[in-house]
Structure 1
Amino acid sequence: MAESMQSPGWRRYIPIAIIAAVALIGAFTLRDYLSFETLRDNRESLLQFQRDNPLLLGAVFVAIYVTIVSFSLPGAAVASVTGGFLFGLPLGTALNVLSATIGASVIFLAARWGLGAALSAKIDASEGRLRRLREGLRENEISVMLLLRLVPAVPFFVANLLPALVGVRFANFFWTTALGIIPGALVFTSIGGGLGAVFDRGETPDLSLLWEPRIIGPILGLCALAALPMVIKAFRGGKGV
C-alpha cells in the first residue's frame, strides 16, 4: 500500500487536482446558491420534505455537506446552520460532525496519495530543522491536531491539507477531527435551531456569535487543555514542535 502511494506518476495527482479545480469553479458559481437567502426562500419546502421524508432528507443533507467539505466549496457554515434548522440540536450536531469529518477525510486522503506521499518521503530523507520539526510533530501529533481543530482562526481546509502533507497518521487525523470540531458544530447547530425566528424578523443569522466571550472562552480553554501535554513535555525536557 505504501509503495503504491509513493510510486511515481502523474496519476496520483489526479484526485487533488480535481478537488482544486472543482473548488475554484465552485467559488465563482455556487456562492449565490449556497447561502442563507436560498435557505430562507426554500424553508417551507424543506420543512415539508423533512416531515414527509426525514431519513431521505438526512441522507441528502449528509451527501451535500460531504461534497461541500470535500471540494472546499463555499457554504460550509450555511450547511452547519441548516443542520440545526432541519434536525434540531442533538441530531443536527451529529450529522454536521459526521459530514464534516467524512469530507475532511476525503481531502486528507487525496492530498496524502498525491503531494503528501512525495513530501513526506522527502522530509523523512532530510536532515536538520525540517527533520526535527517532523519528529516533534510525531511526538505531539494528537495535541497538534486537536489544536488545529479547536482554534477558530485556522481555516478548515488548511487543517485538512496540512496534516496530509506532513505525514500525520490517518487514524489520528480522523478521530481528532471528529472530536475537535464538536464545540464549533454545537455553536453553529444551535444558531440553526433559532433560524425560523430570525427569518420571520427578516434578518440573517449572526455567525459572529462564535467570537463572544461566553462561547470563545470555553473553546480557548479546550485549546489550552489540548496543548497541556506539549507544555508538560517541554518542561520535562522533551522535544516540542
Structure 2
Amino acid sequence: MQTETSQHVFHAKSPAADRAPDSNAMKGRSRWLKWIRLASMLVILVSLMLLIRALPLDQLSVVLKSSIGDLGMWGPVVLAAIYIIATVLFVPGTILTLAAGAIFGLAIGTATVSVGSTVGASLAFLIARYGARKKVASMAQHNRHFGAIDQAIEEGGWKIVALLRLSPAIPFNLQNYLYGLTPVGFWPYVVASWIAMLPGTFLYVYIGHVTGAAIAGDRERSPVEWAMLIVGLLATVAVTVYVTRLARRKLNEQVDGENEIASESEEPNGEDAPAVKTSAERQPIKTLVMAASAVLLFTFSLFANQNSDRIQDSIVSMFGPPQVEMNERYGEKPAGPKVDHSALDQLLKSHVDAEGWVDYGSLAGSEDQLQGYLDQIAEVSFDELGRDEKLTLLINGYNAATLKLIVENLPIDSIMDIPESQRWDAKRWEIGGKRMSLNQLEHEEIRPNFAEPRIHFALVCAAVGCPPLRNEAYAAEKLNSQLEEQAQYVHDHSTWFQFDPGRSELSLTKLYSWYGDDFVQKSGSVEQFAANYSSELARFLNSGETPVTTWLPYDWSLNSKSNKQAR
C-alpha cells in the first residue's frame, strides 16, 4: 500500500513539477535564440556595409542610369518588365528594387516596383492555377506548413494572403505559385498582394534612393537633406518592422491553429501522429538558418574586400570603357596645314577660370561662337594633318562638343542628367570630316591611334571629378607641354591623387581604374605611371615596396563656378 500510495503521489505531482522547469527552460532558450537572431542581424548589416565598400557601386549606378534611367518615360516600363520576368522565373528582385530607388527616386521607383511585382505575382498565380498545376502541386504536397496555410486561406481568404505578404513564411516567388493552388480568388489575391507588399517595397526603394544618392555623386546634398533622408529611412524601417511583427504574430496564431486541427483530424486516436511543429518550435530552425546566412554573407563580404581590386576590374571590363591597343599610327608633317583654334581659345579665356571652373551662364550667351568653332573644325581635312595637329584637333573638338552639350541642356546639375541617347552616344559631332559620337571620338579615334594616356587628363566630361578644363585651347606646337602640365596638376591635388608612404596607401582618381589598361600599356602599371608625377611615390616603388591602391570618389556634379571647391 505504501508503495502504491507513493507511486500515486509521484504521478499526480509530476506533471506540475515538470511544467515549471520546462517553462523556465523554454524561456531561457527563447532568450538565447533572441540574442542569436539579434547578433545575426548585426553581422548581416556589417556584411552589407563591407560589400558596399568593396564593390564599385558608383560605376554600377552610372551603368544603370545610362542603360535604364536614360530611356526617359520608357525607363520605368523597361524596369517593370524586367521585374515581371524575374518574378516569374524565381529570380530575387531585391537588386532591382534598390536600383529603382537609385534611378527613379521614391515615387516613380515605388510605383515601378509595385506594378512589376504585382503583375509578376499575378502571372505566376495564373500559371500555377491553369498552366503548371501538377508541377506546382508536386512542390507543395509534402510541405505540411503549406497544408496548414491552405486551410487557413480557405477560412480567412485574402486576409491570410495579406498577412503572408507582410511576414512571409514562404519565399515571395514561391508564394506566387502556391497561392494558385489555394481556394483564394484571383482578384482578392491581386489586391491583397498589392497592398500588403507596399510597405516592404517602399522600404527597399527608400534604401536604394538613399544609397544611390550617396554613391552616385552626381551632386552634393545639404546636411538638412541628408538628415531628412536618414530620419525618413529609420522611420520607414521602424514602421515596416512593427507591421511585420504584428503580421507574424497573427499569422502564427492562424497557422498553428490550422496545424493542430489538421493533426487531430488526420490522427483521431493520437497514435503515431506525425509531429506538427508550432511557430515556437520552429524558432530554433529559423534562428539557425538566419545565423548560417549571416556567417555566409560575412564570409563573402570578407572575400569581396580582400579581392575588391579584382572584382572592380572585372566589372569595369564588363561595363566600363572598352579596352584598346594603343598605337602611334600617324607621323608628323612639318609642312602640313595648321588648324586655327583661336575661336575656342578666346571662349575658354572668357568663360573658364584658371582652376578650370566654367561659367556656363555666360558661355550660353556665346553659344553661337561655340557653334561657329564646331562648324569650322568640321571642314578640316583630317588626313592632311600631322600627328600633333590631329590629336590637338580631336582633343579640342571633344571639349568644345562637351561644352556645347552642357549649354544646350541648361539648367542641369550634372552631365548625367542628360539622356544617354543625347550624351556620349549621340552621333552628331562632325570633326575633320567625320561624323561621330563623343564615345567614338575617344575610343575609336583617339585611344587606338595615339599611345598617349595623358589625354585622359585633357578630355573633359564637365564634372567636378574630372580633371580641370584648361582656360586655353590646346595647340599643336605646345601640345606635349600642355598635356604634361595637365598630368602634373592632377597628381598635385588630392581630388585625384593621395599617397601615404607610412601606411603604404595610394589613392588615385577612378580614371586610373576605368582606363587602367592604357596606363599599364604605357608604364607597366598604374602605380608606375603615377610615379612619373610623384617623386615620393617613385622612391617608394624603387625601394621595392608595393602600395595598396584604392580609388577616390568621383563627383559627377557640374564643373560650374557655382560648384567651385577646393581641389
Q: Which TM class, normalised by the smaller chain length?
A: 0.5 to 0.7
Say if 1:105 and 1:40 are closer, same or farther in 2 by CA, change over 3 A. farther
Offset of 1:47 from its aligned partner?
A: 2.8
Q: Deviations over 1:184-241 (max 9, x none)?
A: 001000001112344369xxxxxxx89965541133345668899x7xxxxxxxxxxx
Q: What residue in structure 1 maps to residue 165 of structure 2? A: 149
Using the alignment, how far apart are the partners of 2:169 and 2:147 within structure 1?
27
CA contact (8 A) 1:97 1:178 kept: yes
Q: What residue in structure 1 maps to residue 127 of structure 2? A: 110
Q: What residue in structure 2 maps to residue 78 of structure 1? A: 95
Q: What residue in structure 2 maps to residue 62 of structure 1? A: 80
CA contact (8 A) 2:68 2:79 kept: no
1:216 pairs with 2:241: yes
What amino acid does structure 2 have at the position aligned with 1:149? R
Q: Deviations over 1:82-101 (max 9, x none)?
A: 11111111111111111001
Partner of 2:73: helix, strand, or coil? helix
Q: What residue in structure 2 maps to residue 126 of structure 1? A: none
Offset of 1:152 from its aligned partner?
A: 4.6
Matches within 5 A, 1:221-240: 221=246
Using the alignment, how far apart are the partners of 1:43 and 1:71 within structure 2?
25
Offset of 1:132 from its aligned partner?
A: 10
Structure 1 residues not aligned, in runs of 5+: 1-34, 121-129, 202-208, 231-241
Say if 1:163 and 1:198 are closer, same or farther in 2 by CA, change over 3 A. same
Q: How many residues align?
A: 180
Offset of 1:43 from its aligned partner?
A: 2.0
Q: What residue in structure 1 maps to residue 561 of structure 2? A: none
CA contact (8 A) 2:61 2:216 kept: no
Matches within 5 A, 1:179-194: 179-194=195-210
Say if 1:189 and 1:136 are closer, same or farther in 2 by CA, change over 3 A. closer
Q: TM-score, normalised by structure 1?
A: 0.60
Offset of 1:117 from its aligned partner?
A: 7.6
Offset of 1:182 from its aligned partner?
A: 0.3
Using the alignment, how far apart are the partners of 2:149 and 2:243 within structure 1?
29
Matches within 5 A, 1:1-241: 40-48=58-66, 52-74=70-92, 76-116=93-133, 137-199=153-215, 215-221=240-246
Q: What residue in structure 2 maps to residue 205 of structure 1? A: none
Using the alignment, how far apart are the partners of 2:243 and 2:149 within structure 1?
29
CA contact (8 A) 2:87 2:117 kept: yes
What amino acid does structure 1 have at the position aligned with 2:106? L
Using the alignment, how far apart are the partners of 1:119 and 1:107 within structure 2?
10
For CA contacts below 8 A with separation 6 or more, give which structure has more relative contact order: 1
Q: Deviations over 1:107-144 (max 9, x none)?
A: 11111114548999xxxxxxxxx999866532311111
What amino acid does structure 2 have at the position aligned with 1:220? R
Offset of 1:171 from its aligned partner?
A: 0.9
Partner of 1:181: helix, strand, or coil? helix
Say if 1:160 and 1:119 are closer, same or farther in 2 by CA, change over 3 A. closer
Q: Deviations over 1:134-190 (max 9, x none)?
A: 665323111110011000553102321221122321111111111110000010000
Say if 1:110 and 1:139 are closer, same or farther in 2 by CA, change over 3 A. same
Say if 1:135 and 1:64 are closer, same or farther in 2 by CA, change over 3 A. closer
Using the alignment, how far apart are the partners of 2:208 and 2:147 within structure 1?
45
CA contact (8 A) 2:166 2:244 kept: yes
Using the alignment, how far apart are the partners of 1:161 and 1:51 within structure 2?
31
Q: Which structure is higher in helix share?
A: 1
Q: What residue in structure 1 maps to residue 493 of structure 2? A: none
What amino acid does structure 2 have at the position aligned with 1:81? L
Using the alignment, how far apart are the partners of 1:227 and 1:162 within structure 2?
18
Say if 1:104 and 1:133 are closer, same or farther in 2 by CA, change over 3 A. closer
What amino acid does structure 1 have at the position aligned with 2:65? L
Using the alignment, how far apart are the partners of 1:42 and 1:220 within structure 2?
34
CA contact (8 A) 2:166 2:243 kept: no
Percent identity over the alignment is 25
Q: What residue in structure 1 maps to residue 289 of structure 2? A: none
What do you get for the CA RMSD once the two structures are aligned? 3.9
Using the alignment, how far apart are the partners of 1:68 and 1:83 within structure 2?
14
Partner of 2:183: helix, strand, or coil? coil
